[in-house]
Amino acid sequence: MSAGPILSVEGLRVAFRSRRGAVTALRDVSFTLEAGRTLALVGESGSGKSVTSLAILGLLPRNGDITAGRLAYRARDGRELDLARLPQSEFRAIRGREISMIFQEPMSSLNPLFTIGDQIGEMLLLHEGLDGAARRKRVIEMLEMVEIPAPARRIDSYPHEMSGGMRQRVMIALALICAPQLLIADEPTTALDVTVQAQILDLMRRLQREMGMSILFVTHDMGVVAEMADDVAVMYAGAVIEQAPVADLFARPSHPYTRGLLASIPRPDRPEGERLVAIAGSVPPLGSLPSGCAFAPRCPLATPACAEPVGLRDIHPGHRVACIRAEEVLADA
Amino acid sequence: MPEPLLSLRGLSKHFETPRGTVRAVEDVSLDIARGSITGLVGESGSGKTTLGRTVLRLIEPTAGTILFDGTELTGLGQHEMLAMRRRMQIIFQDPVSSLNPRLKVGTIIAEGLRAHRMGARAERRDRVAALLEEVGLQAEAMDRYPHEFSGGQRQRIGIARALAVEPEFIVADESVSALDVSIQAQILNLLLDLREKRNLTMLFIAHDLSVVEYLCDRIAVMYLGRIVETGPARPLSREPVHPYTRALLSAVPQPDPKVERDRQILQGTVPSPLDPPSGCVFRTRCPRALPACAEAVPPPSIPGPDRIVHCINP
């Protein structure tokens, strides 16, 4: 089965300093990513999923602080590191080599002044001291792996000479050239057309099979979750409110928010003429989150007891949920 | 099909650029029945947004005709067209950049009423209040500014603005694409309610096929400036005929981990509209292309009731 977790996030809190005081962006993020698997971190805008991935990468903006919690990461040499307390100098040795990332917008992540070969090759120079012909050969091999046609010629292209889909392939090549053990992919296909998205998802699945890395896949799209994830953590208003294996989450959503989210999606197998069930209201703005369950103001099952803080608990093995009425949600499904 | 409210015949829009002619919309014919919602789907660069704007003559067509309720729009002068615009409105994708941040919501919504001299001043306030309530906001919203609202609420304001002049026809251009899924469901249901209540006719432009299948009565699929397939929403999405429609549908990730699909992954990317392929525009990426596909634009054929497909080897 599994080789144990590669990343355990426990009670992560992040606050941003602003002129109007501290704004809490993450209140209580906890999840576990098992080695070799894909965990989807899913949520709507403002849920905190991108802040979570930046915190793991040690790339929070200057005014953002981790105020509590642990990011337990099992390094390649077997050491357990707490990424929440790792000095930047050590982070630089890990980032790009052991932990890599791809973002939504490949154009703004690539330098327009350098060829893609220079940019991918720089990783090899930085982390492996590789140079010259050997380096060029490795880059061409990597471009071939991400299915860029005519790699020996495209290695000398500039980012603007490529389509959005091709640029995302370059980003993937850049992220995987040093064979990292953890890949963080933040909405990597959101800006792409659906037929190009299908190509990229297919590529990511194949590369994971071949290279065996663990993936933290940040997305808002439940369709992409169903297709890519082994496990899912659902975020709402700065907290993980449910985590489960993917089949279990879709078959037995146990938090009213997860259930509402799934009911909001138009599905092709829906009976004709049946209306979608929308979640009323909207996400509360950060900085004015209630002390108890943040979903309570929109929740059809809310009771006065929901004003008390609520944490994740096991509802059955491997399935955790932060709702005092989860059993009723399940029974009602 | 009942009498169409809108009929397009041979509609084209070309843009002249220093690098040549961009054929954004090419020879599009489409009928939209009164009280129905037609979904126009396609990927970036398919020409769907240009088509939506050409229909309203926000962009002048290069060729073809636009028949709206018996009136040919392409020949109308500025004044006559302005009168027609009251009956045809548009809702945009981005509710942030399409609402003037310096104006109060009430002023934004009443703008059309003033332009078309509809109602006296005092009446307008009541009209705006009623409109805000109709789209699920409170009447007090009229005295606030757009930035005070969330994305979903701003989209409701955009809808209220379009409805103010009591149009019969609305072009909705990616109107839910920027919204979170739980909010998107609210807006889709609102559009369905409004269609029922006001017997609205809509051209709903979107790239998300699941959304289009949910909302629309009919679907038209666009690729590189041309409509390649049209038909009633359910039959078209259950049994797509055109190879492009099939590939597009099979690419949509389904929110169900139990589904095992044999997915057709299209190779390559959309060719440039500066130099579209001869014959069938899809042939360069089509798994079923024949030599004959390069020779002529495929004529329409009828694979089922109310359906049209342009493909010689479906």
Query: For A232-266, what is each residue's pLDDT tens digit?
Result: 999 999 999 999 999 999 999 999 999 999 999 99
For residue B245, the model assigns a pLDDT of: 96
Specify the pTM: 0.91
Mean pLDDT of A185-191: 92
Domain count, chain B: 2
Task: Assess contact for B174 and B97: CB atoms under 8 A.
Answer: no
Q: Does B150 touch chain A (CB under 8 A)?
A: yes
Residues 206-265 of A with CB under 8 A from B: 220-227, 229, 246-247, 250, 260-265
Nearest chain B residue (CA) to A273: B214
Q: At B123, list the tokens.
A: 């009446």
Range list of H helices, chain B: 48-55, 78-85, 105-115, 121-134, 151-163, 181-198, 209-215, 233-238, 243-251
Statement to judge: residues B215 and B296 lie in one domain:
yes
Portion of chain B with pLDDT greater than 70, in percent = 98
Last residue of a domain, one of B144, B166, B188: B166
Statement to judge: residues B61 and B206 lie in one domain:
yes
A185 φ, ψ to 5°? -115, 110
For residue A273, the model assigns a pLDDT of: 81
Statement to judge: residues B124 and B69 lie in one domain:
no
pLDDT 10s digits, B88-102: 999 988 777 889 999
Q: Is residue B47 part of a domain?
A: yes
DSSP codes, B31-49: EEETT-EEEEE--TTSSHH
Q: Is residue B148 part of a domain?
A: yes
How far apart (Å, rounded) are the C-alpha atoms in residues B132 and B175? Answer: 18
Statement to judge: residues B74 and B104 lie in one domain:
no
Q: Is residue B99 part of a domain?
A: yes
User: In angstroms, what separates the C-alpha of B269 from chain A's closest C-alpha?
Assistant: 8
Statement to judge: residues B72 and B155 lie in one domain:
no
Range list of H helices, A95-221: 106-109, 116-128, 132-145, 151-154, 164-176, 194-211
CATH of residue B287's domain is: 3.40.50.300
Interchain contact, B263 vs A197, CB within 8 Å: no
> Which residues are CB-neighbours of A200 under 8 A, at least 6 positions away?
A165, A168, A169, A172, A188, A189, A192
Statement to judge: residues B175 and B162 lie in one domain:
no
Mean pLDDT of B155-174: 95
Mean pLDDT of B186-193: 94
pLDDT 10s digits, B260-280: 766 778 887 788 889 999 999
Q: At A237, list the tokens.
A: 């208003």
Residue in B185, B214, B251 nearest the CB of A195: B251
pLDDT 10s digits, A65-83: 999 999 999 999 999 999 9
| Residue A61 pLDDT > 70 | yes
The mean pLDDT of chain A is 92
Residues 220-239 of B with CB under 8 A from A: 234, 237-238
Burial code (b: 16+ CB inside 10 Å, e: under 16) for A32-56 equals bbbbebbbbbbbbebbbbbbbbbbb
Longest dimension (CA), chain A: 68
Range of the domain at B105: 95-166
| Residue A2 pLDDT > 60 | no
pLDDT 10s digits, B36-88: 999 999 998 899 999 999 999 999 999 999 999 999 999 999 999 999 999 99
* B256, B261, B270, B285: best to mutate for the A interface, most A CBs within 10 A: B256
Residue A1 pLDDT class (50, 70, 90 cuts): very low
* B44, B46, B182, B219: best to mutate for the A interface, most A CBs within 10 A: B182
User: In angstroms, what separates the C-alpha of B123 from chain A's closest C-alpha?
Assistant: 30
Q: Does A203 touch chain B (CB under 8 A)?
A: no
How far apart (Å, rounded) are the C-alpha atoms in residues A26 and B257? Answer: 29
- The SS3 of residue B185 is helix
How far apart (Å, rounded) are the C-alpha atoms in residues B37 and A251? Answer: 33
Number of residues that make up chain B:
314
Q: Is residue B122 part of a domain?
A: yes
Statement to judge: residues B215 and B226 lie in one domain:
yes
How far apart (Å, rounded) are the C-alpha atoms in residues A100 and A215? Answer: 10
Residues of B in contact with A266 (CB under 8 A): 185, 188, 210-211, 213-215
Statement to judge: residues B150 and B223 lie in one domain:
no
Q: Is residue B191 part of a domain?
A: no
Burial class for B165, CB neighbours closer than 10 Å (0-12, 13-18, 19+): middle
Q: Which of A272-281, B169-178, B262-271 has the lowest mean pLDDT?
A: B262-271
Burial class for B149, CB neighbours closer than 10 Å (0-12, 13-18, 19+): buried
For residue A282, the model assigns a pLDDT of: 82
Interchain contact, B234 vs A280, CB within 8 Å: no
Statement to judge: residues B175 and B287 lie in one domain:
yes
Q: Does A268 touch chain B (CB under 8 A)?
A: yes
Burial class for A260, CB neighbours closer than 10 Å (0-12, 13-18, 19+): buried
Statement to judge: residues B201 and B157 lie in one domain:
no
Mean pLDDT of B233-237: 95
Q: Is residue B201 part of a domain?
A: yes
Portion of chain A with pLDDT greater than 70, in percent = 99
Q: Is residue B56 part of a domain?
A: yes
Residues facing residue A26 across a β-bridge: A14
| Residue A281 pLDDT > 50 | yes
| Residue A333 pLDDT > 70 | no
Statement to judge: residues B230 and B216 lie in one domain:
yes
Statement to judge: residues B297 and B202 lie in one domain:
yes
Interchain contact, B254 vs A272, CB within 8 Å: no
For residue B1, the model assigns a pLDDT of: 55
For residue A192, the model assigns a pLDDT of: 87
Q: Is residue B188 part of a domain?
A: no
For residue B262, the model assigns a pLDDT of: 67
